Chains A and B, each alone.
Chain A
């Protein structure tokens, strides 16, 4: 059976299965022939390609050498054209990227927009680009819609292109939208499934390889073109009618042909000397704008005002596979097939000069005279009746692979031997035979290796299937050369040069910075800290050393993986020219966002101080923080605000004689702000006790500074008096605040708590009170002793049914705020409780040792005034009644021994007393 016989049968089968009614079949078949006829009759030569197809690339090389066109029209976003010369500096695969953050004309939720077009070496488009750029006098014109149109025509940001984790190489493109040249694949799943099922293969790439790639590898140009257009036409005719995709496809064709006609009219080039490279799908187009003869108008919609930035980012085979839904390893296999075809000779591929890994510049093929295109002959009907010649090299290659895979397997822990190599070789041939293949494909070889070498367990990290992928080329990761990097990335590399590391390498590198010994490394350290802030967490990672306000390490060590995160660095380059500028922009953007809060602004101030210094910028951010605080209507961020402003105040006090103006403004604004919000916060159910605690903390701990700045304490006292919380925790917090303000004596507080504990109706909610008291540790550290006392009492007296469910909550609360609460509490507990076990038995808690309240009352000292008042109590009783005080008269202390002694002493030696009275007059 001829190689194309199988293909034809497959396609016809598919056409019958999906044409709907049998009557539609002749229509489709006739249409397919028409498509081919039409595409080939076009005066402008159309070169149909398919992505990642070595056959396309080979045919391209041959055709370019033969025809030597003067103008090449390429199906690629037209605005990417300036990037192409930069490919010289890169190690392929890389992706051309268009990137936009300032959206104008797109929904803001789409941003940032990112589009990538990966370029591999084994692709027809790379050959066309290399030819055009390396040959003087050849013009390369990109004719597809611009990146802007890609998104304009997209119904919504495409989700299909999400790179879903196959490791980090697969995620190289991030969440960019991918575009490819020559996307040739069935447009609906059933057709693909049908082809795969009937083709007896596992996935689309294998189908393509077996039914198109291999037969086409040695085909002549006419056959190649006709077959590609035929397949394109079939997929085009068998696509679902609905959806936006067909409309987009046709719009793109209209766009391309309109651009081509425009260019031809403007440049006056001879269509016979031009070549239009486009996907086979588009070659079989039926839009009315198709062809040079057509003059159907098409108005290209204007681009939006979005500002697009362009650059190159590294790509990898696995990233391409993940992005475009290809089988794992298929791009690598395509690359291997291409390399094999090149090595076999017959074609000299085009390469861009100046590529970093170009070993030697390939000899230019002798300049043959351009061959004019002859008449189109019908190659389709006589599809390759001769089978391809059995290739000697294939057997040698398979033998090589078989030996290599055994060696690789041994290195990975398999007990493989030469016998296995023989078995793999034999099995590959047998498998190819059973699968109707003239010679084993890499897929057969992979299956054979798995059959013969894989046993019940995988001894190492990689199984045989993965080892085969590695053997067949593995994943190749591209890199963008230094010269093609944006200025920011180049700047970063330059500034890291003193470290003496090759930061472009993909391995993780350890940098050791002894800043004491080498002060010239300080700028490097600064830069690394900024990169850590801006790049993903793994790109630069400090192993030793830290940077906090007022704190710098003298030695640092870093793990640098900049080579692996080149894309992130390049994308930073779209935001500015230097890292400092990007950081400044980011911080400024953060504080001016509509959702920004005072805490965010304080964080930005802190980051600015840490990374940028610069008083003017810090002051600007600080002023914004004051603004934000004054405008805030919630107190959700109060704990964060308190923590940050404390830290900043500590820093400023330690480093300068005066506080910056914004700090003072912040404290006084905060004092007034929190005083105003306090009563509502106390009653508001949505405001947590922690937030109220932090507000009180701000008010009490910043009080002295605020008062010095002209705030009024009465405001706070009034605010506390206006607060009438109902939740137990907040009630406790209020009591603590009152006690701190001196309104509520501690004895009163203690008796209230004892009452609560004694009341069986309140006992279940007592833990909530404790929560409030614990939160009060921050605003009123003086209460620490009391808090320890309350907790101890609770532990002692609460029933287990109340205590035990609450304990975990207490622990989690303490853990959440370990930094602020635990040291105070632990210190106080250490002071209260005995230090050794022996003392515990004899220990009496200080609060129970206190005498009863009656006894604790200070005896009223006797004296002339007291005597007088006791003798005539009516005046005082009246005053007491007026003030609403209840009380009773105490007995006068009569016989106090101390007093007696003093009196005796004074009576015995009255001189001193007389002298004093004389002095006082």
Chain B
């Protein structure tokens, strides 16, 4: 089944693993959860020998253990979960994994945009059916959230803060009363949430202030802040994990040399340090320099070397992708990259040599092309 999809949702991709976990799970399960909280944690964070399982469960989300625990516990309580953090920190991935583990359905998603209306959260009508048969449950189109309520599963709301405040506030009654009334219908006009229903929302901390959550809504969500991963070891694991997945998906046979991964991580770490010490926005790259961005750079480089190169990932290609992905504003971003290349990469290539030399050359060319 996964072969038919460009990107299979977590519950499809890890279906077999989830089945197995459910079969060995003997812990207490809240509501209609398919796995106990401990097993959910194990599914997300991977197993260890001390867990005493017969098979190894790989780690799927990399980050502080307590974030996952707090998220799971929140979903078991009667509050919604709001994952908040910089772009590319893995909020949506964590949300998807949690939904997949808890209810095997991570696709009940509402995407928050400036154009999201209350209909997207509650329900809308199939106009031609209404004309033909009048308003009834059959002619009603339930939103993903309402579907989640009816089925007692987890509904997801991506980029909550991108939608306007009045739309956000439609969630208040859903989260506190746990039902949606349909005043247009005379009977059967209330949809009650089944046990197990909860909402995982994500919000981008860079959007703060665009559409601030009302305090009434804030109260109904537990906030979990996901920080940018700065631990080099876990970041390397994330990048490797995601890239391998990508290579599998594209059926690309290509080696990822560890030295190049180191170079990528190191250069991101340097650029982050530079951004942290910058005093104005002009001295900062526009990019958040998140882990996802790194994966993007690596993906770009891999695809480039696979289709246009000699099927070997080279430092020069990586440098070109890095410059290409990070230089969004001319001349500010280019100037920063230029400074970085000459101030940091050049001395390092002289000192350490190796792949850094190719990296230096590739970056220079890329900057020259863009400027």
Contacts and interface: CB of A to CB of B under 8 A. Distances in A.
B76 interface: yes
B224 A451 contact: yes
Contacts of A426: 77
A427 B219 contact: no
A431 B73 contact: yes
B50 A452 contact: no
A452 B79 contact: yes
Interface string B48-61: 11100000000000
B48 A451 contact: no
Contacts of B122: none
A198 interface: yes
Interface residues of A, number: 26
A430 B219 contact: no
B69 to A, nearest CB: 5
Given A434-B37, A456-B84, A456-B208, A451 B74 contact: yes
Contact of B219 (A13, A419, A448): A419
Interface string A441-457: 00000011011101110
Interface string B62-84: 00011001101110110100001
A9 interface: yes
A430 B38 CA distance: 10
Given A198-B48, A447-B70, A456 B77 contact: no
Nearest to A17: B49
Given A9-B50, A10-B50, A455-B223, A415 B218 contact: yes
Nearest to B73: A430
Interface residues of B, number: 28
Contacts of B218: 415, 455-456
A53 to B, nearest CB: 24
Contact of B223 (A419, A434, A454): A454
A423 B49 contact: no
B73 A451 contact: yes
A676 interface: no
Nearest to B50: A198
A456 B223 contact: yes
Contact of B69 (A417, A423, A431, A455): A431
B38 A434 contact: yes
Interface string A424-436: 0011001101110
A427 B50 contact: no
Contacts of A455: 218, 223
B205 interface: yes
Contacts of B48: 198
Nearest to A417: B219
A434 B38 CA distance: 5
Contact of A434 (B50, B73, B84, B203): B73
A430 B49 contact: no
Nearest to B48: A198
A202 interface: yes
Contacts of B111: none
Interface in A443-492: 447-448, 450-452, 454-456
Contacts of B77: 423, 426-427, 430
B194 interface: no
A455 B222 CA distance: 7
Contacts of A10: 50
B41 interface: yes
B37 A452 contact: no
Contacts of A202: 65-66
Interface in B221-249: 222-225
A166 interface: no
Nearest to A454: B223
A233 to B, nearest CB: 21
B215 interface: yes
Contacts of B225: 454, 456
Contacts of A448: 70, 73
A435 B38 CA distance: 8
Given A202-B66, A426-B77, A447-B66, A434 B72 contact: yes
Contacts of A420: 219
Contacts of A456: 84, 203, 205, 208, 213, 218, 223, 225
A430 B37 contact: yes
A452 B222 contact: yes
Contacts of B72: 434
A421 to B, nearest CB: 13
Contacts of A415: 215, 218-219
B65 A451 contact: no
Contacts of A423: 77, 79, 222
Of the candidates A198, A415, A435, the one having the most CB atoms from chain B within 10 angstroms of its own CB is A435
A200 interface: yes
Contacts of B215: 415
A435 B42 CA distance: 12
Interface in A1-30: 9-10, 13
A880 to B, nearest CB: 71
Contacts of B38: 434
Interface string A844-886: 0000000000000000000000000000000000000000000
A886 to B, nearest CB: 65
Interface string B196-213: 000000010100100001
Contacts of B50: 9-10, 13, 198
Interface string A194-208: 000010101000000
B198 to A, nearest CB: 13
A144 B52 CA distance: 44
A434 B69 contact: yes
Contacts of B205: 456
Interface in A705-723: none
A427 B73 contact: yes
Contacts of B69: 431, 434-435, 447
B70 A431 contact: yes
Contacts of B66: 202, 447
A447 B73 CA distance: 11
A451 B70 contact: yes
Interface of A: 9-10, 13, 198, 200, 202, 415, 417, 419-420, 423, 426-427, 430-431, 433-435, 447-448, 450-452, 454-456
23 contacts: A198-B50, A200-B65, A415-B215, A419-B219, A420-B219, A426-B77, A427-B70, A427-B77, A427-B222, A430-B76, A430-B77, A431-B69, A434-B37, A447-B69, A450-B70, A451-B73, A451-B74, A451-B222, A451-B223, A452-B79, A456-B84, A456-B208, A456-B213
Interface of B: 37-38, 41, 48-50, 65-66, 69-70, 72-74, 76-77, 79, 84, 203, 205, 208, 213, 215, 218-219, 222-225
Given A447-B66, A454-B223, A456-B203, 14 more contacts: A13-B49, A202-B65, A202-B66, A415-B215, A415-B219, A423-B79, A427-B70, A430-B73, A431-B69, A434-B41, A451-B70, A451-B224, A455-B218, A456-B84
The 4 closest A-B pairs by CB, nearest first: A430-B73, A451-B70, A434-B37, A451-B222
